[in-house]
Amino acid sequence: MTLFEKLDINPDTVPNTKLGLHIFQAVLGLVIFILEIVLFRADGSVINGNNGWPFGLCFLSIPAWIYLAMAPRFERTRKAAQPHAMVVVDTIFTIFWLSAFASQAAYNTANSCGTACAVSKAIVGMAFFELLAWVATTAVSVYTLRYYQRTDSLPGYERLGQSQNIDPDKAAFSMAPHDEEAYAPVQMDDHHDDHDHHEGPYDPDSFGGRFDSDTSYRPHSTSPAPLENPFDNAYRSHSHSPAHSDPYGDPYGSTTSRTSRPHIYAPPAAEDYDDDRPVQFPSANYDRTLH
C-alpha cells in the first residue's frame, strides 16, 4: 500500500487543490518578477546570470501553469493532460525553481546587489516558497498518476460542474449518490402503487356500492348543464324540453313520478292556464297537513 492510499485522500478535492497551488505559484512569480526589476534599477547592483535566471523563469513558468492548471479541467483538452506528462512537467519546474533559488542566494553571497540587498534577500525568500509550491504540485501529480493507473480516469476532473446540472423534473434534494441516478424521480401520486383504481373515466355511481342506500341520501348522478338554471324551465315559452332527462322532474307529473324522484314547485307557464277547466291547487302531498 502506497503513502497516498494510507492518507485516504478524497479524489474530488484534487482539481481545486492543484488549481489553488498553481495560482499561488503565479502570484509568487509575479512578486519575484517585480522585485527583480527593482533590483536591476538599484545603484551598484550587477545584472548577471544569477539574478537573470529567476527573472526569466517567471516568464518560462507561464506555459507550464496554463497546461497543468487548465488542461485537465476541460473536456476538450483533457486528452492532452496525460498524467505521466504532468508529473514530468511538475518535476522539471521544481528543479528549475530550486536552481533559481540557489542562483539568487549565490548572487547575494557575491555581494552583487549594491544598495538593494534587502530586495535581493526578499527574492530569495519568495523563491523558496515558490520551490515548496512546486514540490506540492509534483506530489499532487504523482497521486493523479497513481489514481489513473488504478481507475483509468483523472481524479475528480470528470465530475467538475455536475452538481449544477439538476434536472428540473427530478428531486433537487435527493439523497441518492452523485451519479447518473443522483436525483430520484418525484412521485406526485401518493397512491402510485395502486394500479387497479381510477384507470377508466370518472363514474359518479361507481362508489355507490360502498354505502347503504337505506341509511344515506344519494343525489342523482346527473347534474344540470353548466350555467343552466333549473328553475326557469316553466317560464320558457315556445321552447322544447332538452334531449336529456330533467333532473327535477315534471312539476305537474303523475303521483308515481313525484314519489320516484325529487322535484320542486315551479309556477305554471302562460300557456298552461286553461279558462275552461276548474281551479285546482298545485300538485303536492297534502296528507301531512296538521289536523
Beta partners for 185? 170
Cell numbers at 166, concatenated:
439538476
- Give percent helix, percent strand, percent coil of the chain, each to the nearest 5: 50, 0, 50
160-180 per-position pLDDT tens digit: 766 444 454 554 555 555 555
pTM, full prediction? 0.55
Contact between residue 87 and residue 134 where contact means Cβ atoms under 8 Å apart? no
Which pLDDT tens digit goes with each residue over 12-66? 888 899 999 999 999 999 999 999 999 999 998 999 999 999 999 999 999 999 9
266 contacts 231 by C-beta, under 8 angstroms: yes
pLDDT for res 184: 53
CA torsion 33-35-37-43 (nearest 10°) is: -160
Q: Which three cell numbers stand for residue 111?
A: 555581494
For residue 18, give Cα distances in angstroms to 12, 123, 154, 174, 199: 11, 24, 13, 30, 57
Return the higher-pLDDT residue of 186 and 104: 104
Q: Give per-residue pLDDT as tens, 210-252.
A: 545 445 455 554 555 555 555 555 544 444 444 445 555 555 5
221-235 burial, b for 16+ CB within 10 Å, e for fewer? eeeeeeeeeeeebbe
Alpha-carbon span 65 to 24, nearest angstrom: 11
Cα-atom radius of gyration of the chain, to the nearest Å?
A: 46
Identify any residues that bridge with 272 across adjacent strands, giving them in sequence order: none
Check residue 79 and give its pLDDT. 85
Categorize the per-residue pLDDT at 95 as very low, low, confident or very high, splitting at 50, 70 and 90. Answer: very high
